[in-house]
Amino acid sequence: MGADSDPGAPSAVPWRKVLYERQPFPDNYVDRRFLEELRRNVGVRRYRYWAVVREAGLVTQQLSCVAVFLTLWWYMYQGQLYPFTLLLAGLLCALLGYGLYEALGGSRREGRTRLADLQSAAIFLAFTFGFSPVLKTLTESVSTDTVYAMSALMLLAHLVTFPYAQPSPPGSLSLNAALFGSVCLASRLPGALHTFAMLTCALLVFALWPCLLHSLRDRAPRGFPWAAALVSLGGVGGLASQSPGGALLLALAQLTLTLLCPLLLLWLQEHKDNIHGPWDEAEIHEDLSRFLQ
């Protein structure tokens, strides 16, 4: 590429790295200083193992939340869990979670009041309870296998599109996919009250719990691992009561995502080799705020 080794290259005139004037050199000519500007791994972030494990716990959490929801749905489908019991347990969990969220200053950071939160909850419960008979019969003309396939696809889309970097509030696409899958599963329950209880549970698991977990991660770093471990154990224990094989697969997936994948990331980071130099595209940094005012 360089013409330093070319015996026909002129040496009396020094070469300059400019484009606005004609020089007695070939277009692809560079001198020996070309590689002096080579830089490797500029701006590469160095990760710490336990910090990566802590962030990977958010992925494990959503997987565990899906397992908990499916376990509750299966108990209700089998008639082993009554809707009043689930609604009462959900109410207690919501009150405890909201109290903890208030203690962490969540509503104050978002500029909301308790009255606004109460109104939002009342509107959601009223609309869900009123439309529960409609949602119960929504998929009557659809085969059960198709409903289960759509539910699995929507829950998978929820896991893929969930904003793990900033889970509070959950992304609209992720939350809508989870609620759509919940509606499909709830439509296969015996009655409209079962559907209402299941959708209320879906709101707690897929919408409110990520907000509380995000506040715990930021405001109570020591309590975050315990809360994450509790939900993970709940997901594994719930599946173990119905399917020991499924519980084993979930536990292996949790260990892989939480412990092994961070090790793989750190190992790959040691082999990272990005090069930067004068061949990169020029970046123009100019303050354009005076044009935007």
* Residue 156 in tokens: 């998978």
* Residue 124 in tokens: 């959601």
Q: Which of 69, 63, 64 is nearest to 86 (CA)?
A: 69
CB within 8 Å of 171: residues ≥ 6 apart: 161, 162, 163
The whole-angstrom separation of Cα 86 and Cα 115 is: 25
Q: Answer whether 138's CB lies under 8 Å from 183's CB.
A: yes
Q: Answer whether 258's CB lies under 8 Å from 57's CB.
A: yes
DSSP 79-130: TSS-HHHHHHHHHHHHHHHHHHHHHTTHHHHHT--HHHHHHHHHHHHHHHHH
The whole-angstrom separation of Cα 78 and Cα 64 is: 21
pLDDT one digit per residue (tens) for the chain, 293 residues: 444 444 444 457 787 777 777 888 887 777 777 777 777 777 777 788 888 888 888 899 899 999 999 999 999 999 899 999 999 999 999 999 888 888 877 666 566 777 887 888 888 889 889 888 888 888 888 888 999 999 999 999 999 999 887 766 677 889 899 999 999 999 899 889 999 999 999 999 998 888 888 888 888 888 888 888 888 999 999 889 888 898 999 999 999 999 999 999 888 887 777 777 766 666 666 766 665 55
The whole-angstrom separation of Cα 109 and Cα 73 is: 34
The whole-angstrom separation of Cα 126 and Cα 130 is: 6
Task: Give me the pLDDT at residue 7, please.
Answer: 43
3-class SS at 276? strand
Between the alpha carbon of residue 253 and those of residues 11, 19, 206, 224, the distances in Å are 65, 56, 20, 20
Report which secondary-structure segment, H or E, holds 176.
helix 172-186
Kindly give the interhelix angle for 209-219 and 49-77, rounded to the nearest 10 degrees.
160
Say if pTM beats, i.e. exceeds, 0.75: yes
**Phi-psi region at 125: left, alpha or beta (left = phi > 0; alpha = psi -120 to 50):** alpha
For 132-151, b/e burial (b = at least 16 CB within 10 A) is beebbebbeeeeeeebeebb
Task: Give me the pLDDT at residue 110, please.
Answer: 63
* Percent helix / strand / coil, the chain, rounded to 5: 65, 0, 35
CB within 8 Å of 286: residues ≥ 6 apart: none
Task: Give me the pLDDT at residue 72, please.
Answer: 93
Domain boundaries, the chain: 55-258
Task: Give me the pLDDT at residue 3, please.
Answer: 45
**Phi-psi region at 43: left, alpha or beta (left = phi > 0; alpha = psi -120 to 50):** left
Task: Give me the pLDDT at residue 2, please.
Answer: 47
Beta strands per DSSP E along 178-284: 275-276
The whole-angstrom separation of Cα 228 and Cα 63 is: 11
Rounded-to-10 torsion of CA 277, 278, 283, 284 = 140
